[in-house]
Structure 1
Amino acid sequence: MGTRFRHVSPVSTAVALLTLAATLTSTGSAQAAATRVRSGSSSDVSRTSWQGPAFTMNGDGKIIPGSMSAAIDAIRGGTGSLDVVVLAGSAPTSGSTTPECDAAMALPGVNSCTTWTLTAAADGNNSQVNSDIRNAEFVYFAGGDQCRYAAWKGSALEASVESVAAKGGGSGGGSAGHHINSPVVYDACKGSVTSAEALANPYDSYITFTTGMFDWANYSGVINDSHFTTRDRMGRTMAFVARAIKDGRTSGGKAWGVGVEEGSSLLLDKNGTATLYGKEAFVVLGDHQPEQASSGKPLTFSDYKIWRLGPGQTYDFKNRPTCGYYHRSVTNGVADPNLYTGTLQSTCSPTGGTSTLAETEANDTRATADDATALTYPATLTGSMKSTSDRDYFRVAFAAGERVTIVCAIPDGAYDADLYLLDSSGSTLARSVNDGAGTDESLTFTRTATGSSTYYLELDAYQGSGSSAYTCTLTKG
């Protein structure tokens, strides 16, 4: 039996050394100090109320323009601008020193973005850091190492981030930043674990958790995981879920794993609905005690319920579904095959009418728009950009005071399509024009009590074309 070598987090021993590091900093050693870089306006936005909270859960460290734009719009109610703070545990080793703020500042509705690089647990009590966070409306945790972030549990920083969500702002992050935004955090403070290792021993010494830090509304009982499909992390998420149930880290004898793939993001809105931007994400439910989960023994757990979310699809974390899943099990440390796909054991059927509509050409003008006014919500519209001059129109209807979010998932690398919402006379009310083939588009609109109830959703081929289908999801509330 050979020696097992595994990647050890750069801060695997940092938890033990953070106190020393903080001491060295205070005594003037060469330990790096907290650094601050601000982009945009030097003054914070002053406003009495915000419309969130909203949260972004990203599969890798990058900001996803579609989900971030949707979060910004939800928080500011579609008007005005807001301030963003990015928290990082270390500086990038190449390229821009503020990549997340670079991406945020390119989005509509961002007044400023401040990057704080914090290197010690004591930085969580830095007064300037906490002032910037409390004055912001969105806090983004960068990729890196979630053990650094877990070290801020109980600090002023934790309370400051919670205050942002409480006032109607939001939080999010990618990779390590995704991990820290779940109530049960796989903190990786002793190193990283693979799926095979976790299934062989769910009490492996490399599997450590932090609980009781952030517990966002409607997101209880959840353990996040990132880089999900690319790094084959379904197995370890299954082990994390079993551990959470067995150890009593969640209530009611249930736990949910949320795995997000690279290039993807889940936007969790104030009503508890998570919408997928990008490629795919998975929700893994364990709803009973594991048949075997103990130190040194392989895991046995029957009938996990797994939901796979594709572009534009949603999962209701407030009213958690009892349909639409497939089953997978683990027996003596060996998981069933085909963990990432399966036959649905129970399908979710819409009530009250049809909820989907595929475009029918020619629908290139408002006069020839496909009629989507009778769809039940959440509603789904599909089509494709068949030529570089293609325009697809859908007629929709909104009641007075209704707030509608439209998310269009554009097929990866296929073409660049732009999204517009028009009034009955064809004037543009809102638009989303993110650059890049395969980049999602989204917007939020609230109808006033006056004027026509008829509107038009327009998709334009900005660059490129193809037969791959886009999917637009419309939700109300």
Structure 2
Amino acid sequence: MNGDGKINPGSMSAAIDAIRGGTGSLDVVILAGSAPTSGSAAPECDAVMALPGVNSCTSWTLTAASDGNNSQVNADIRNAEFVYFAGGDQCRYAAWKGTALEASVESVVAKGGGSGGGSAGTHINSPVVYDACQGSVTSAEALANPYDSYITFTTGMFDWPNYAGVINDSHFTARDRMGRTMAFVARAIKDGRTSGGKAWGVGVEEGSSLLLDSNGQATLYGTEAFIVLGDHQPEQATAGKPLTFSGYKIWHLGPGQTYDFKNRPTCGYYLRNVTGGVIDTNPYSGTPQTTCGTPGGTVLLAENEANDTRATANDATALTYPASISGTMASTTDRDYFRVSLAANERLTVQCAVPDAYDADLYLLDSNGSTLTRSVNNGLGTDESLTFTRTAAGSATYHLELEAYRGSGTPTYTCTLTKN
């Protein structure tokens, strides 16, 4: 998955060697939606044929959706070991969904070959595709309105092993696309385009390439790439209104660094917030968390049973924020309470990562036990989040309640608490 339309020799050579097992040679097919405007008629084939282990390279320019059913095109694809989608217009590629070409490319991967692309070709290789069929959106436009008419998606085309829940983007830093990827992630969660209440954005910079191997390990060739995780429902993702989403988890990959998509990490990220369409600080750089799953590297408060009532709530009022609380839903009737405090005009944001063993709901209660706000997303392992601002004068005590809605088990939930 290349950050621009050019073949990356390092990642392409590594892919070729992995497919052919270090011996023999393989055949490559290049698919393009339009002919090059200058230079060679097949620049990608020129670059590929210069690499060791390549027997042949065939380039096809397909300009209509019906070309996806061309018998010779599909025969060439099925006989190849690698299919590369050139840069250009991913909307043209999305039009091949449901044609014979889609099944042919899938057959190449199924037999141990590979698929990839650059720029538009990178977009089409993610399970959620920003197809740009209505036009290209900028970060500013997407953050100001995550339902901008230019933001359209295609799903259900290519679902590569270990790569579920992902939206690719390219030309990432050079064209400042972090903001729009954040909006894409929020939309994917809000619209239910991914499962488990989570979505991952993968942004690759120009001149760089991310190679995903058969075990789900992605290695960066080049300068940088970013993994952007949204793991809860957006606080605001509504047509015509600016995006608000707290706690994006961002991994910044440098040359040679890896990200395991099969066993996705729960540490090594830095956090960024979007409030009213504005990212809180530079989203392309941050200090990574070094201990899994917790802000600042330490689980500051693990539940201490019995904490099943407000009277026996665990005290989180003295924690330094951002903070973390954790516990388990030990039974189908379990309730865990934590005591927190808020000053005047102080906003509390709570994001809970819920394990797949159960469905837990999250509530914020006032001092009388009345519900002020709640998060009750359905599904085992579906994360919960809420935000509340105290508008009254002075400070007051509140209670967070985690309640077992369905299922139970020993896996731990972890809630991140921030105040601002």
Contact 1:242 1:293 in 2 (8 A): yes
Letter in 2 for 1:225: D
Instruction: Supply the distance in 2 between the matched residues of 1:110 and 1:345 (Cα, whole angstroms).
Output: 42
**Aligned partners of 1:120, 1:180: CA distance in 2, in Å?**
16
CA distance in 1, matches of 2:287, 2:216: 26
3-state SS, counterpart of residue 58 of structure 1:
coil
CA distance in 1, matches of 2:83, 2:5: 14
Per-residue deviation, residues 346-367 of structure 1 (Å, max 9, x unmatched): 357xxxxxxxxxxxxxxxxxxx
Residue type matched to 1:197 in 2? Answer: E
Distance 1:215 1:253 in 2: 18
Query: Which residue of 235, 240, 243 corresponds with 1:296?
Result: 240
Quick one: which of 177, 185, 188 aligns to 1:244? 188
Equivalent residue pairs, number: 293
Q: How does 1:163-202 map to 2 (within 5 A)?
A: 163-202=107-146
- Deviation string 1:125-180 (CA, Å, 9 cap, x unpaired) is 00000000000000000000000000000000000000000000000000000000
**Corresponding residue number in structure 1 for 2:71:** 127
Aligned mates of 1:263, 1:337 — CA distance in 2: 25
**Residues 1:255 and 2:196 aligned together:** no
Q: 1:285 aligns with which of 224, 229, 232?
A: 229
Q: Which of 5, 18, 27 is the aligned partner of 1:74? A: 18
Where does residue 159 of structure 1 map in the other structure? 103
Residue matched to 2:282: 338
Q: CA deviation at 1:221?
A: 0.2
Specify which of 48, 62, 85 is matched with residue 141 of structure 1.
Answer: 85
Structure 1 position 345, deviation (Å): 2.4
Shift of 1:336: 1.7
Cα distance in 2 for residues equivalent to 1:271 and 1:219: 10
CA–CA separation in structure 2 for the residues paired with 1:180 and 1:336: 30
Q: Is 333-342 or 111-120 further displaced after alignment?
A: 333-342
Is the Cα contact below 8 Å between 1:325 and 1:347 reproduced in 2? no
CA distance in 1 between counterparts of 2:71 and 2:200 reads: 35
Specify the code of the residue in structure 2 equivalent to 1:100: E
Matches within 5 A, 1:31-430: 57-347=1-291
How well do the aligned residues superpose, as a CA RMSD in angstroms? 1.0
Which consecutive unaligned segments of at least 5 residues does structure 1 have? 1-56, 349-477
CA shift digits 1:10-61 (9 cap, x unpaired):
xxxxxxxxxxxxxxxxxxxxxxxxxxxxxxxxxxxxxxxxxxxxxxx10000
Whole-Å separation in 2 of the counterparts to 1:280 and 1:319 = 21
Structure 2: gaps spanning 5 or more residues: 293-420
By how many angstroms is 1:302 displaced?
A: 0.2
CA distance in 1, matches of 2:239, 2:44: 40
CA distance in 2, matches of 1:344, 1:278: 21
The letter for the 2-side match of 1:210 is: T
Question: Which aligned runs of 4 or more in structure 1 are off by greater than 3 angstroms?
Answer: none
Identity %: 89
Distance 2:153 2:189 in 1: 13
Cα displacement string for residues 311-369 of structure 1 (whole angstroms, at most 9, x for unaligned residues) = 00000000000010000010010112211000112357xxxxxxxxxxxxxxxxxxxxx
SS in 1 for 2:134: coil
Question: Do the aligned partners of 1:124 and 1:152 also contact (CA within 8 Å) in 2?
Answer: yes
Q: Residue deviations 1:261-320, cap 9 Å, x none? A: 000000100000000000100000000000000100100000000000000000000000
Q: What CA distance in whole angstroms lies between the structure 2 residues aligned with 1:211 and 1:222?
A: 11
Q: Give the partner amino acid of 2:235.
A: E
C-alpha distance in structure 1 between counterparts of 2:224 and 2:289, whole Å: 20
Partner of 1:418: none
The CA distance in 2 between the partners of 1:60 and 1:347, in whole Å, is 34
In 2: Cα distance, 1:346 partner to 1:208 partner: 36
2:146 and 2:253 mapped to 1: Cα distance? 26
Q: Which amino acid aligns with 1:201?
A: N
2:49 and 2:214 map into 1 onto residues whose CA distance is: 24
Work out the CA distance in 2 between the residues paired with 1:344 and 1:89.
40
Change (3 A) 1:336 1:115: same
Q: TM-score, normalised by structure 2?
A: 0.69
Q: CA deviation at 1:122?
A: 0.3
Paired residue for 1:467?
A: none
- SS of the residue 2:272 aligns to: strand
State the distance in 2 between where 1:202 and 1:226 align: 19
Distance 1:347 1:134 in 2: 45
Task: Describe the superposition over 1:56-99 as per-residue Cα deviations: whole angstroms up to 9, x where unpaired.
Answer: x1000001000000000000000000000000000000111101
